[in-house]
Amino acid sequence: MSEEATRSRVLVVGATGRLGGSLVRASLAAGHPTFALVRPHHFALPDNIPFKSLAAAAATLLKGSLEDYPSLLQAVRQVDVVICAVPTKHALEQKPLVRAIKEAACVKRFIPAEFGVDHTKIKISDMDHGFYEKKAEIRRLIESEDIPHTYVYCNFLMRYLLPSLVQPGLDAPPRDEFMIFGGGNTKGIFVEESDVAKFTVCTIEDPRTINKSLYLRPPGNVYSLNELAGLWETKIKKRLKKIHITEEQLLKNIHDAPFPLKMDLIFIYSAFVKGDHTYFEIDSITEGTQLYPRVKYTTVSEYLDTLV
């Protein structure tokens, strides 16, 4: 039997998305026969970039969507592992996917669309405007249906907030002034998207991660705002003027801000004031870089080099 025939067959839902595309590439790179559930509108425009790159990567494209149950069931029946990467606002649309996994009864691992912060740990649940509730509902459903699963908590993707060095409203890093929220010493975590995908794929045949949460805390990627400012100053060889925003002022700014800026400020408050990424202990058997030390990942410093 060929090696490929013995590897888990993986279905990625949300494969035309940013994280989903990385998951497909990581799964193929690890030697898994990989299937991508792609919505019909992409087949109508076969020249579009996500569609072309999935086809070029040699993923098997399956036409279907979360709204089309027969297509979902047919896709799920072909695989051992399902990874979903739909955005949080569509998280509840995973309900039929859970139903299809239950009915197909062949899936040994489901990795739902988490890929953020562990919402059972956050201290800001009273101010998240229902952001985490949808994911929590899916988590409860997975567990009540006894679906074998792994939750992946990567904290912030580097594409979120890091391009501006956590300066809301900017789309590039600051060159003159740097806003520090709260005391500036509470640490948050950033992980590059393709690294999240690599760690995720490592879990799928790993008995240590079954029915567990995988946390990503790469040692080179845990930074406070004071440290981030210092690192950036070293790279651009310039001292920046620090603007200190107290917790009280940040809460007022959150109250006054329109969406989506309000959510950015809430996530900054959660990570860099309340410490929601790092305040709790995790043991080595649930941290990605300790479980899979051979996975090479992009550090925050390397990422900032690309912005200088």
Binding region for ligand NAP (CB under 6 A)? 13-20, 39, 42, 65-67, 85-88, 90, 93, 113, 115-116, 154, 156-157, 160
In the complex with ligand NAP, the residue whose CB is nearer, 7 or 277, is 277
CA distance 56 to 234: 40
In the complex with ligand NAP, the residue whose CB is nearer, 92 or 236, is 92
* Shortest Cβ 41–ligand NAP spacing (Å): 6
Query: Which residue sits closest to ligand NAP, CB atoms considered?
Result: 17
Tokens standing for residue 269: 């408050």
What distances in angstroms separate CA 267 from CA 20, 117, 171, one per listed residue?
22, 10, 17
Q: Is the dihedral of CA 212, 218, 224, 228 positive or negative?
A: negative
Among candidates 230, 274, 240, 243, which has minimal Cα distance to 180?
Answer: 243
* Shortest Cβ 176–ligand NAP spacing (Å): 26
What distances in angstroms separate CA 39 from CA 65, 68, 91, 174, 272, one per listed residue?
5, 10, 16, 39, 37
CA distance 64 to 22: 19
Contact 201, 9 (CB under 8 A): no
Q: Which one is catalytic: 135, 187, 212, 238? A: 135
In the complex with ligand NAP, the residue whose CB is nearer, 17 or 230, is 17
Tokens standing for residue 113: 């669309």
Crossing angle between the packed helical segments 18-29 and 193-203, to the nearest 10 degrees: 50
Long-range CB contacts (< 8 A, 24+ apart) of 293-299?
A: 295/195, 295/198, 295/199, 295/202, 297/191, 297/192, 297/195, 297/198, 297/199, 297/218, 297/220, 297/221, 298/158, 298/192, 298/194, 298/195, 299/218, 299/220, 299/221
CB atoms < 10 A from the CB of 123, how many?
A: 13
> Of all helices (H) and strands (E), which one includes residue 170?
none
CA distance 230 to 220: 15
* Shortest Cβ 297–ligand NAP spacing (Å): 15
Catalytic residue check, 135: yes
Classified as helix, coil or strand, 85 is coil
In the complex with ligand NAP, the residue whose CB is nearer, 5 or 49, is 49
* Shortest Cβ 304–ligand NAP spacing (Å): 17
* Shortest Cβ 87–ligand NAP spacing (Å): 5
In the complex with ligand NAP, the residue whose CB is nearer, 116 or 184, is 116
In the complex with ligand NAP, the residue whose CB is nearer, 65 or 299, is 65
* Shortest Cβ 5–ligand NAP spacing (Å): 28
In the complex with ligand NAP, the residue whose CB is nearer, 7 or 42, is 42
* Shortest Cβ 208–ligand NAP spacing (Å): 22
- The catalytic site residues sit at 135
